[in-house]
A and B are shown apart, each in its own frame.
Chain A
Amino acid sequence: MKTCLVVDDSSVVRKIARRILEGLEFEVTEAEDGAKALEICQRQLPDAVLLDWNMPVMDGFEFMGHMRRLPGGDQPKVVFCTTENNVAHIAQALSGGANEYIMKPFDKDIIADKFAEVGLIPVGQAMV
């Protein structure tokens, strides 16, 4: 079973994301900010990270920079999931090593499409 780390300071968003990702057969762990997410990644890297941008302590962009420099840190697929919905932020995320980008609000279809896009789930599964 593939693993996904959901990083968001809103427990509601984490809960919704968890339900969607478990439906796509991911084993889900949660972190409420970038620093806690980094601790988890230092122990074990997930296959995927669903990543909010604005969070207390350490934001998503800074977390991604640290995670990418860990041994094997180039492997996880990072999918941003944020209310930052402008081209400047998207371009910054992509050049910083993000694989995909979701603009909130999101739903199951968008997550499935984006995860299929980066090869985390088969394309057919996104159609269901």
Chain B
Amino acid sequence: MTPTEYEYLRKFLKDSSGLDLSADKQYLIESRLLPLARKAGLSGIAELVQKLQAGSRTLITDVVEAMTTNETFFFRDKVPFDHFRDHIMPEIIKARAGRRSVRIWCAAGSTGQEPYSLAMCLKEMGAALTGWRVEIIATDLSQEVLEKARAGVYSQFEVQRGLPIQMLVKYFKQTGETWQINPELRAMIQHRQLNLLHDFAQLGTFDVIFCRNVLIYFDQDTKINIFNRLARQIEPDGFLVLGAAETVVGLTDTFKPIPERRGLYKPNDPRAAAARPALAAATPRMVAMAGQ
């Protein structure tokens, strides 16, 4: 790959997905895009770049998806799910005892392991959530990834990463060599295509936002911009969960870390957050639900 081609791809990815590659990620581009180029019948990266410059729409989507798709597994990093079960949900169950509803957003839901892990956590809480309205919205940039998440079908290899065997037996159905998550859990999740660079106000407000291992790919200004917009979609007493390598510290004061709970953040000033105009649109819905 020539330096010119690399620069073109860097800029192209930055503009189309926000992916911010440093100057030394040639290997990453080659490892992901060479197989894609060959599949498309092209000779290599050079021809791929020519096609992108010519504006081939399907190829543009394929390239963005290939570069932004990441390995994930059930209960990834474990700690955030312990926080979810032991800290976040007990507080929400107390705070929302009146309206008995909880809205959760997986902002980088990828192939579904994260939203399904949350769904399993919620199922395990059993009676504590009886009669509650639980909504999990899982969004991802990639249409291909969303289709996989929607189907909820995983290979034998995938179901052995992070998933306790009791959970596999309890929540999955085996079909030959693959395992599919139960319809009841699939029904708990809405999958939607979303680019975090674009407006997401229409999703409404959430009690919990999981936004893990996606912001690391964005540059500083983009991160700040996303944090500020996330702050408008979260309830004043809600929770933001970031990946192990991510933080708001030094970027924005819209969220503050919760001491002793790594990766867990709260909106910083509930009154200021409540006064933001973007929340107004979501308020009638909340009132309506409280009145049900």
Nearest residue (CB) in A for B164 is A117
How does the 8 Å CB contact mask read for B73-85 relative to A, with 1 for contact and 0 for none? Answer: 1000111000000
Q: Does B169 sit at the interface, judged by CB under 8 A?
A: yes
Q: Does A70 sit at the interface, judged by CB under 8 A?
A: no
Which residues of A are found within 8 Å of B177, using beta-carbon distances?
A: 85
Which residues of A are found within 8 Å of B79, using beta-carbon distances?
A: 123
| Main SS class of interface, B | loop
Which residues of B are found within 8 Å of A44, using beta-carbon distances?
A: none
Q: Quick one: which of B73, B157, B161, B174 contacts A86, CB cutoff 8 A?
A: B174
How does the 8 Å CB contact mask read for A19-58 relative to B, with 1 for contact and 0 for none? Answer: 0000000000000000000000000000000000000000
Contact: B161 with A109, CB < 8 Å? Answer: yes
Contact: A94 with B166, CB < 8 Å? Answer: yes
Which residues of B are found within 8 Å of A115, using beta-carbon distances?
A: none
Q: Does B156 sit at the interface, judged by CB under 8 A?
A: yes
Shortest beta-carbon distance from A112 to chain B in Å: 10
Interface range on chain A (Cβ under 8 Å from partner): 10 to 19
Shortest beta-carbon distance from A126 to chain B in Å: 8
Cα separation A95 to B177 with both chains bound (whole Å):
23
How does the 8 Å CB contact mask read for B135-177 relative to A, with 1 for contact and 0 for none? Answer: 0000000000000000000001100111011101100001001
Contact: A110 with B161, CB < 8 Å? Answer: yes
How does the 8 Å CB contact mask read for A70-101 relative to B, with 1 for contact and 0 for none? Answer: 00000000000000011100110010000011
Contact: B164 with A90, CB < 8 Å? Answer: no
Q: A86-B174, A123-B78 are in contact. Are A110 and B164 (CB under 8 A)?
A: no
Which residues of B are found within 8 Å of A114, using beta-carbon distances?
A: 160, 165
Q: Does A113 sit at the interface, judged by CB under 8 A?
A: yes
Cα separation A100 to B157 with both chains bound (whole Å):
15
User: Which A residues fall within an 8 A CB radius of B?
Assistant: 85-87, 90-91, 94, 100-103, 106, 109-110, 113-114, 116-117, 123, 127
Q: A85-B177, A94-B166 are in contact. List 4 more A-B contacts (CB 8 A).
A: A86-B174, A101-B165, A117-B164, A117-B165
27 pairs, CB–CB < 8 Å, chain A vs chain B: A85-B174, A87-B169, A87-B174, A90-B165, A90-B168, A90-B169, A91-B169, A94-B166, A94-B169, A100-B164, A100-B165, A103-B156, A106-B160, A109-B161, A110-B160, A110-B161, A113-B73, A113-B160, A113-B161, A113-B162, A114-B160, A114-B165, A116-B78, A117-B165, A123-B77, A123-B78, A127-B77
